[in-house]
Structure 1
Amino acid sequence: MAAVFVHVSDIHFGQERGGVKFVHDDVKKQVLADAAREVAGTTEQKAAGILVTGDIAYSGQHAEYKEAGAWLDKLAEVICCKNTDVHVVPGNHDIDREQISQSVGFLLSRVLDEGEGALDEILDNDIDREIFYKRFKEYRPFAEGYNCSLDKDGNLKGKPPIELAPGRSLRFVGFNSALICSKRKDEEGKLLLGARQRVLQVEDGEELVVLAHHPLHWLQDSEQAKRYLRNRARVFISGHEHKPRVHVDPVKAGCDLMMIASGAMVPPTATEEYKYTYNIITFDWDADSDDLLVTVKPREWRDEDKAFRDAPEQLDGNGPTFKLACPNYYTAKPTCPVPTHQARGDETSDAPGPESAEEESVINDDYAPLLLRYFRDLLPAQRIIVLVKLKALPDDWSEPLSHAMERGIVDRLAATGRLNDLGRAMDDLANDNNGNGGAA
């Protein structure tokens, strides 16, 4: 079954000043209406999800993510997908530069000077990792809500695969290309993924779609990353440069890599070169050739019409449907069952997992909206109130609650059958806030 996604990048919530806000608010409203029509016009008539390749916010502030979350909820509603079916990766504008203290700056300088060895040491140390991730202070709970966690490997994990046919699935993998972004403006060619991110794992019957904000040439380890992508991924989608382009790299016989460079949905200033743009991307399986079919439909703002229109010129005369040779499909039998849910591992949690695939499915379906609500929609102090109410914190708890520890505690609530308790505690908090004259 084909899977339709709405792909947006570089939205920059919070960038608007003065009258520009009215223009950008209108563009975002028109994207909602246009995407609803486009998705309704597909064979599936509904979307499988939303892909966001970074720069969701403009300066990594809480208010910007609150606005982004509300808009993404509206987009999910009009394209008929769950508001939890959103895949996000961070961009350079998703870091809060005000959080780059002397200690954060020292760690960043170490990585720039010493490379991957220093990065590995920082990510392995619980205290250093939390300091290092301070730049993502507001992005981190926003992304956690969508189960796109910043983990100890530096990348993003947690989403189940998308099944296209029995034994044929897609798995979305997120790269954090903003991992060592700082206050510097000359970062092209100096950013770093590290081996933890770029070493992609593949399985028979499963092809990878990799999301990142920065194109590969922004990375100092771009050549190594490219080799893994060309041999183990099928699609690479990036943003940042606001220059849309689609290209298929014929890696070798029986192996292709599709590169999708995104335009900006809301660039700081729309010009003839940088227009408002987004994509409708459909993934399907070709039963005759056992290949992946990817249809890219760019939608671009036409200022004379004040509306979005098709932009086939972004495809350089190719497409809109591209057939990609898929070695991971060729090595698997198409009749093999594909799990539509997977347990979300967390290195900070020793909670027991679900006892059966059926129980796992129930936990995932029920857990996703509560996870979104807990991390994305509650302030840190409100989350502590919920955990205290549920007596989920250890009796002798006295140390600062790190983000990884907090996710582990919430995972344990889910794994031990306390999702209803979590939901009720959040409902009680909302009622208390409303009774006191307002919510967060």
Structure 2
Amino acid sequence: MSLAFVHLSDIHFGQEKGGDLYINNDVKERLIDDVRQLVAQLPSRKAAGLIVTGDIAYAGKEAEYKEAGLWLDRVAQAAGCKKTDIQLVPGNHDIDRDEITKATELMLQSITTEGQQALDGFLRSPVDTALLYRRFLAYQPFAQAYRCPLDDQGGQPEAHVAHLAEGRSLRFIRLNSALICSKRDTHGKLILGARQRVIAQRPGEEIVVLSHHPLGWFQDSEDATRYIRNRARVFISGHEHNPSVRVESVRQGQDVMMLAAGATVPPTQHDTFTYTYNVIEFGWEPETDSLEVKVRPRAWDDEQKRFVNDAVRLGGQQPRFVLGCPNFRGPNQSEQAETVTPELNDEQVEIVISAPEQAHAQDEKMTDEYSLLLLRFFRDISPDNRLKILVDLGAIPPGWTDALSQPNERRALDALVKKGRLQDIVQAVDQVEQQ
């Protein structure tokens, strides 16, 4: 069994000016056509989902995400997956610079200068935390819609798990590399923070890490790199618009793959930085109990005005990699590497994105309904209507008018779902959309 994902990065919705709007819109249409044709050639004839490594928007505005959502729906349809099967992380363009006040600037400067200690101090204050995350004002509901919320304590949010074979899974961990991004960012000055860079391990799971910024952009890159090399199997990033891939041998039987994406829609198009995207196929290699990764890089051919195989940027038209995986449970392995298994709280619920052999039909139906509800609730209706629904259904007290933080809004929604009121929420959303 293999799982393929359409990998997009740096789409920059909202950057277009004048005639560039028509050019980029045409490229996006051709990308949909290309995805449809490419996915039809896969063994499964469909993708397991989409991966977007940041910079979905250009200025972090609500209208940009609305446009992005409509387009991603169509890409998902062309890829043969559900429109809820999308994973994303924020980039520096997903922050709204208009929300950076003088107080926010001082906070970000303090974190940049003092590092982890200052970050921890601000995260202990609900007021400071709210100010820090306000830069993601439009991104946050968009991310919630796809089950990719930002953790409001600077940590890792809920992970997505994909099953490859018996006892062998991939856990996708998403990093908020834009945590302290400001109006201008300097290479080597950003911070992931300990809550993000500490990557836990679990038996039978290999880890794929998604980040907008490559590791070199962080002050804590040395420690983050050690975690990536020793705990992860694949690290996928964007931001620099320069596609590359390399496999590093960590030790005997253990490899790590570093994949840097190009820009799906770069700010300017030329021979060096052109329109690119990938299809990444993950599979289990039974002979060596390894992870097989096939990359199908695609790039814009300006002469033909369409996407073609990219034989230049990633070292071949369809490069294939076999990665040593110490965490996979092979049939002859009785011992496992020492692992750390953290407890999951209500906001870190494991979402299985492909496990047909293990899930009952009832559970799958419930998961699909819940995922679609999140998409509609957080992406397709306004904040005022979301608040009204939560008040009307008794999730928050009557007469409540204050804005809710995204995590609290999600908690209120999930509380209703746990009480068996999913269909009540669906009906309320239907009524809003029919108005």
TM-score > 0.5 by shorter chain: yes
Question: Would the alpha carbon gap of residues 386 and 398 (structure 1) be closer, same or farther in structure 2, given more than 3 Å must change?
Answer: closer
Partner AA of 1:381 in structure 2: D
Give the C-alpha shift of residue 159 in structure 1.
Answer: 4.0
The DSSP-based 3-state class of the residue aligned with 1:284 is strand
Question: Would the alpha carbon gap of residues 207 and 153 (structure 1) be closer, same or farther in structure 2, given more than 3 Å must change?
Answer: farther
Q: Kindly report which structure 2 residues correspond to 1:145-160, keeping only aligned pairs within 5 A, or say none.
A: 145-160=145-160
The answer to whether the 8 Å contact 1:147/1:159 transfers is no
Give the C-alpha shift of residue 194 in structure 1.
Answer: 0.5
Query: Number of matched residues?
Result: 417
Q: How many Å separate the matches in 1 of 2:39 and 2:425?
A: 34
Give the C-alpha shift of residue 312 in structure 1.
Answer: 2.3
The answer to whether the 8 Å contact 1:363/1:415 transfers is no
Q: How many Å separate the matches in 1 of 2:202 and 2:251?
A: 19
Question: Would the alpha carbon gap of residues 230 and 179 (structure 1) be closer, same or farther in structure 2, given more than 3 Å must change?
Answer: same
Q: Kindly report which structure 2 residues correspond to 1:57-206, keeping only aligned pairs within 5 A, or say none.
A: 57-185=57-185, 187-206=186-205
Q: How many Å separate the matches in 1 of 2:10 and 2:301?
A: 18
Give the C-alpha shift of residue 152 in structure 1.
Answer: 3.1
Q: How many Å separate the matches in 2 of 1:156 and 1:360?
A: 25
Q: How many Å separate the matches in 2 of 1:74 and 1:344?
A: 33
The DSSP-based 3-state class of the residue aligned with 1:207 is strand
The answer to whether the 8 Å contact 1:167/1:332 transfers is no
Question: Would the alpha carbon gap of residues 293 and 84 (structure 1) be closer, same or farther in structure 2, given more than 3 Å must change?
Answer: same
Q: Kindly report which structure 2 residues correspond to 1:207-286, keeping only aligned pairs within 5 A, or say none.
A: 207-286=206-285
How far does the alpha carbon of each residue in 1:54-88 deviate from its partner, in whole angstroms, 9 at most, with x for none? 00000000000000000100011111101111010
Query: Which of 377, 384, 388 lines up with 2:387 in the alignment?
Result: 384
Partner AA of 2:63 in structure 1: A
Query: Which of 412, 415, 418 lines up with 2:418 in the alignment?
Result: 415
Partner AA of 1:345 in structure 2: D
The DSSP-based 3-state class of the residue aligned with 2:52 is strand
Partner AA of 1:315 in structure 2: L
RMSD: 2.2
Give the C-alpha shift of residue 332 in structure 1.
Answer: 7.9
Structure 2 spans left out of the alignment, 5+ residues: 335-342, 349-358
The DSSP-based 3-state class of the residue aligned with 1:178 is coil
Question: Would the alpha carbon gap of residues 399 and 272 (structure 1) be closer, same or farther in structure 2, given more than 3 Å must change?
Answer: closer
Question: Would the alpha carbon gap of residues 332 and 177 (structure 1) be closer, same or farther in structure 2, given more than 3 Å must change?
Answer: farther
Q: How many Å separate the matches in 1 of 2:2 and 2:226?
A: 28
How far does the alpha carbon of each residue in 1:156-212 deviate from its partner, in whole angstroms, 9 at most, with x for none? 422431011111110111111111000124x11000000100000111110000000
Aligned to 2:407: 404
The answer to whether the 8 Å contact 1:170/1:206 transfers is yes
Aligned to 2:293: 294
The DSSP-based 3-state class of the residue aligned with 1:312 is coil
The DSSP-based 3-state class of the residue aligned with 1:249 is strand
Question: Would the alpha carbon gap of residues 289 and 196 (structure 1) be closer, same or farther in structure 2, given more than 3 Å must change?
Answer: same
Q: How many Å separate the matches in 1 of 2:323 and 2:162?
A: 17
The DSSP-based 3-state class of the residue aligned with 1:314 is coil
Give the C-alpha shift of residue 233 in structure 1.
Answer: 0.2
Partner AA of 2:368 in structure 1: D
% same residue: 50
Q: How many Å separate the matches in 2 of 1:28 and 1:174?
A: 25
Q: Kindly report which structure 2 residues correspond to 1:417-432, keeping only aligned pairs within 5 A, or say none.
A: 417-432=420-435
Aligned to 2:355: none
Partner AA of 2:312 in structure 1: E
Partner AA of 1:7 in structure 2: H
Q: Does structure 1 residue 22 correspond to structure 2 residue 25?
A: no
Structure 1 spans left out of the alignment, 5+ residues: 336-341, 348-356, 433-440
Q: How many Å separate the matches in 2 of 1:198 and 1:92?
A: 18
Give the C-alpha shift of residue 128 in structure 1.
Answer: 1.7
